[in-house]
Amino acid sequence: MILSCQNISKAFAEKPVLSNVSFHIEDYDKAALVGINGAGKTTLLRIIVGELSPDQGVVTLAKGKTLGYLAQNQDVNSENTIYDELLSVKADVIETERKIRQLELSMKQASGEALENLMDTYTRLTHAFELANGYAYKSEIAGVLKGLGFEEGEFSHPIATLSGGQKTRVALGRLLLLKPDLIILDEPTNHLDLNSIAWLETYLLNYKGAVLVVSHDRYFLDRIAGKVIEIDQTNAASFTGNYSDYAVKKEQLRTAALNAYFKQQQEIKHQEEVIEKLRSFNREKSIKRAESREKLLNKMEVLDKPTTARTDIHMTLTPRCISGNDVLHIENLSKTFGEAPLFTGLSMDLKRGEHVAIIGDNGTGKTTILKIINGLLEADTGSVSLGTNVHIGYYDQEHHVLHTEKTLFEEISDAYPYLNNTEIRSTLAAFLFTGEDVYKRIGDLSGGERGRVSLAKLMLSESNFLILDEPTNHLDITSKEILEDALNAYEGTVLYVSHDRYFINRTASRILELSHKVLTNYLGNYDYYLEKKNTLSTPFSSAPSSKKEEPPSETKLDWQAKKEQQAKARKKENDLKKCEEAITALENQIAALEDQMAQPEIAVDAAKLQELSIQQEALGQKLASLYQQWETMAE
C-alpha cells in the first residue's frame, strides 16, 4: 500500500465538506476520484499533498515513497524555455553524464591502481546512468513534449510567453519525467487535445507507479481507472473497475437503497393504518394491540432516503419552428491568420436533424469554423449559406452571448421580455440558480456558472440549429449527462466542437475530423471513428435488413393466471370487509349486553347477571379472535 487515508474530515465555516473519508491506494493502482462539482475532490487532494490540514483523520504515505501533484491550473514561473524546463528534471542524470565524460578523460592518463579505481567508479556511474535511462533522456523529453501537444518548433519558446493552458502542460510534462511513486492529477485533460489525451492514457496505463486522478472526462476514466473512489454527500465509497463499471454498480446500489427505503415507508404507512383501525374499534383489547404495534413501530430503525441522481437541470430543447431539409451548405471555405493558413477549401452540408461533431487538434480552426458560420468572423474565401427557416442558437466558450454588467435576472428578462417573473425564476432554478442567486452579476460568476446561464438562454431561444463550442466545459458529470439526454431528444440540427469523447460518443451521429487543413467525414459516433481510423481498409458493407421481431403476445395461460390473481385479490378484500363487519356486529352485541347489565333490575338479579356475564365473556373471546384474524388479513 502506497497511500492510506483514514477518517479524513474537513469543514469550512462549519459546513462539512468531508466526513470520515477512508480509502487506500496500492502500489500500482490506477484510481479515479469522482463526485459532483463542490463535492470536495480538490479539497481532499490538497489534504493528501499537505496543502491543507484535515480537521481530523490521518494521511499516510508509505515510507520512502514519493508523491507528485498537478493542480488544475499551474502558473509555472521560470525564465527557461519549454525544453530547458523539462531538461532541469534530468539535472542528476546530466551531472552523472558530465562525471562519466570527465572519468573517460582521466582514464586515458591514469595507470595502475589509480586506473583501477577510476574504472570501478566509471562502472558504477555508467550502471546508474543506464538505470536512469541516461542514454535516451533527450529522446524521452522530446517524446513527452510531443505527446502533450508541443511541436518541435515550440520547444525553444520561453515559458513566460505561454498561456495558462500551455504552462499547465509544461507542469504535467515535468511531473511525468520526475516519475514519483504516486502521481496525483486534478483535471489533467482540460488543456489537452484528443491526440494528447490518448497519449496520456497510454502513458499512465504503462506507468510503473500508482495514479490518482480527478477528471470529468469519462472516456479517459474508462481507459485508465481500475478503481473508482466516489465522494457523495461528504462520504466516500470505493468501487472496483472503470467509470462505466462504477456507474452500473452505483445505479444498482441506488436502486436497491431506494427500493428498501420505499418498501419500509410503505410498511410504516401500513402499520400506521392498522394501528389507527385498531384504535377505532375502541375496545380495551384492540387498543392494547394498537399500543403493542406502536411500540414496535417506534423501535424501527428508519432508513434515510438515498440521494438520487441530481435532476436539478431539467433541459428541454424544442425547436419552435421546423427548418427546411437543407440546413447548412459550406463551399470552398478558407481562413488564414497572419501567414499561417488554418484550413483551405473546406466544403460540407448539414441536413435537418443531424447531430454532427467537429474534432481535431488544438489550433486547427474548429472554433473558427463555428464563428464563421455564426457570422462572427469573415472567411477569406468560400461561402456559407443557411437553409429555409433556419434559426441559429449559439453557445461559445467565452460566453459572448452574456453581458457581464447585468444580473442573471436581467440577462434573461432583457433577452425574453415576454416572460414574467415566475417564468424567469423557474428557468434559472432549472439551472441551479435559486433565491438571491438570480441577482448575482454575470461578471462575478465562475466559468461553470456562466456556462449554465448560456445554456438557460439557449433553452429559451427559438433556434432549430444549435452551434455549440465545447458545451461540456466546466460541467460536472451529472450535468453533462443531462445535457446529453436533452440533445439526444432534440429534433433540430446540432453542430458542435468538443474534446469530450464520451459526450461525442453519446450525441454525435456524424463526425468531421479537421486535420491537415481538411475535413474528413465519418458516419458514426466516436467509437466508430476510432474503429474506422484504425481499419481504413475495411469497406462499407450493406447488411441485409431484418424485420424487427414483435414482442410475443400474451398467452391464454398468462391471461388465466392474471384473472386468477385478480380473483384472489378481490376475495381477500371481501374477506377483510366481512371480518370488519363481524367485528362491528360483535362490538354492538357486547355494548348492548353492557347496557343491559347496567340496568337496575338486572344488577340485583344474580342469576341473570351471571348469564349475561357468560355471554359477554364468550363474545369477548370471539372478538379477540376476530381482531387477530383481521390483523393477519390486513398484513
Range in 186-195, 213-222, 611-620 the model is least confident about: 611-620
The secondary structure of the chain in percent helix, strand, coil, rounded to multiples of 5, reads 50, 20, 30
pLDDT of residue 351 exceeding 80: yes
Average pLDDT estimate for 142-154: 92
Residue 314 has pLDDT above 90, yes or no: no
Residue 72 grid coordinates: 488544475
State yes or no: pLDDT of 550 exceeds 50: no
Whether pLDDT at 65 is above 90: yes
Looking at the domain 563-634, which fold is it?
Helix Hairpins (1.10.287)
Contact (Cβ atoms closer than 8 angstroms) between residue 63 and residue 155: no
Lowest pLDDT segment from 362-366, 428-432, 571-575: 428-432
pLDDT at 542 over 50: no
Report d(CA 449, CA 37) in Å as an integer.
11
Instruction: Give Cα separations from 310 to 299, 445, 456, 486 (angstroms).
Output: 32, 21, 17, 15
Distance CA 393, CA 390 (A): 10
Average pLDDT for 494-502: 93
Region 280-308: mean pLDDT is 84
Q: Which of 154-163, 447-456, 474-483 has the highest mean pLDDT?
A: 154-163
Of the pLDDT bands very low, low, confident and very high (cuts 50, 70, 90), residue 568 is confident
- Which residue type sits at 256? A
Which pLDDT score, from 0 to 100, does residue 563 have? 67
Domain residue ranges in the chain:
32-247, 248-299, 326-534, 563-634
The Cα–Cα gap between 177 and 183 comes to 11
Task: Say how many residues make up the chain.
Answer: 635
Fold of 326-534: Rossmann fold (3.40.50)
Distance CA 467, CA 461 (A): 13
pLDDT above 80 for 271: yes
Q: What is the pLDDT of residue 596?
A: 80
Distance CA 247, CA 101 (A): 56
Q: Which of 12-21, 423-432, 451-460, 622-631 has the highest mean pLDDT?
A: 12-21
Q: Is the pLDDT of residue 620 over 60?
A: yes
Average the pLDDT over 126-155 and give the result.
91
Q: Which residues pair with 56 in a beta bridge?
A: 9
> Phi and psi (nearest 5°) for 516?
55, 40
d(CA 501, CA 359) in angstroms, rounded, equals: 9
Q: Which pLDDT belongs to residue 110?
A: 86
- What pLDDT, on a 0 to 100 scale, did the predictor assign at position 327? 95
**For residues 366 and 587, which has the higher predicted lDDT (pLDDT)?**
366
Query: 159-186 in b/e burial notation, b at 16+ Cβ within 10 A?
Result: beebeeebbbbbbbbbbbbeeebbbbbb
Query: Could you tell me the pLDDT band of residue 587, with boundaries at 50, 70 and 90?
Result: confident
Asked if residues 407 and 439 have their Cβ atoms less than 8 Å apart, the reply is yes
Contacts of 296 (CB under 8 A, 6+ apart): 271
Position 91, amino acid: A
Q: What is the pLDDT of residue 474?
A: 74
Q: Amino acid identity of 346?
A: L
- 381 conformational bin, left if phi > 0, alpha if psi -120 to 50, beta if neither: beta
Residue 286 or 432, more confident? 286
Topology match between the domains 32-247 and 563-634: no
Amino acid (one-letter) located at 108: K
Phi and psi, residue 314, nearest 5°: -105, 85
The band of 588, judged by pLDDT with boundaries at 50, 70 and 90, is: confident
**% of the chain with per-residue pLDDT over 90:** 47
Q: Give per-residue pLDDT as tens, 46-63.
A: 999 999 999 999 999 999
User: Which of 19, 31, 165, 159 shows the shortest CA–CA distance to 87?
Assistant: 159
Classify residue 524 by its DSSP letter: S
pLDDT at 390 (0 to 100): 93
What is the predicted pLDDT for the residue at 246? 94
| pLDDT recorded at residue 548 | 39
In the Cβ-directed half-sphere of 230, how many Cα atoms lie within 13 Å?
17
Is the pLDDT reported for residue 332 higher than 60? yes
Average pLDDT over residues 226-253: 92
Percentage above 70 pLDDT, the chain = 93
What is the C-alpha separation between 214 and 37, in angstroms, rounded?
11
Q: Does the predicted model carry a pTM greater than 0.85?
A: no
Please tell me the distance from the alpha carbon of residue 264 to that of residue 120, in angstroms, as a whole number.
77
Residue 309 has pLDDT above 90, yes or no: no
The Cα–Cα gap between 325 and 565 comes to 53
- Residue 191 and residue 418: Cα distance in Å, rounded? 40
What's the pLDDT score for residue 592?
A: 85
Q: Which fold has domain 32-247?
A: Rossmann fold (3.40.50)
Alpha-carbon distances of 224 from 189, 229, 498, rounded to whole Å: 13, 14, 21
Q: Which of 196, 202, 195, 194 is nearest to 223 (CA)?
A: 202
**553: pLDDT confidence band, cut at 50, 70 and 90?**
very low
Taking only the tens place, the pLDDT of each residue in 71-88 is: 887 777 788 999 999 999
Rg of the chain (C-alpha set): 36
CA distance 457 to 402: 9
CA atoms of 506 and 610, how far apart (whole Å)? 84
Confidence of residue 17 (pLDDT cuts 50, 70, 90): very high
Span 326-354, mean pLDDT? Answer: 91
Are 236 and 229 within 8 A, CB to CB? yes
Amino acid 598: pLDDT: 76
In this prediction, residue 541 carries a pLDDT of 36
How far, in Å, CA of 468 to CA of 302, rounded? 47
Q: Which residue has the higher pLDDT, 565 or 611?
A: 611
- Look at residue 540 and tell me whether its pLDDT is greater than 60: no
Which of 43, 47, 5, 45 is CA-nearest to residue 212? Answer: 45
- What pLDDT, on a 0 to 100 scale, did the predictor assign at position 7? 96
C-alpha span between 238 and 621 (Å, rounded): 58
pLDDT, greater one: 603 or 108 = 108
**Contact of 323 with 390, CB cutoff 8 Å:** yes
pLDDT tens digits, 398-447:
777 789 999 999 999 998 898 899 888 888 887 778 889 899 999 888 77
pLDDT for 544 beyond 60: no
Highest mean pLDDT among 209-223, 461-475, 561-575: 209-223
The residue that leads in pLDDT, 168 or 605, is 168
pLDDT band at 558 (very low <50, low <70, confident <90, very high): low
Query: Is the predicted pLDDT of residue 381 greater than 70, yes or no?
Result: yes
Mean pLDDT of the chain, nearest integer: 86
Which range (70-79, 205-214, 234-243) has the least confidence?
70-79
Kindly state the average pLDDT of the residues 477-496.
85
* C-beta of residue 465 within 8 angstroms of C-beta of residue 327: yes
pLDDT at residue 632 in the model: 82
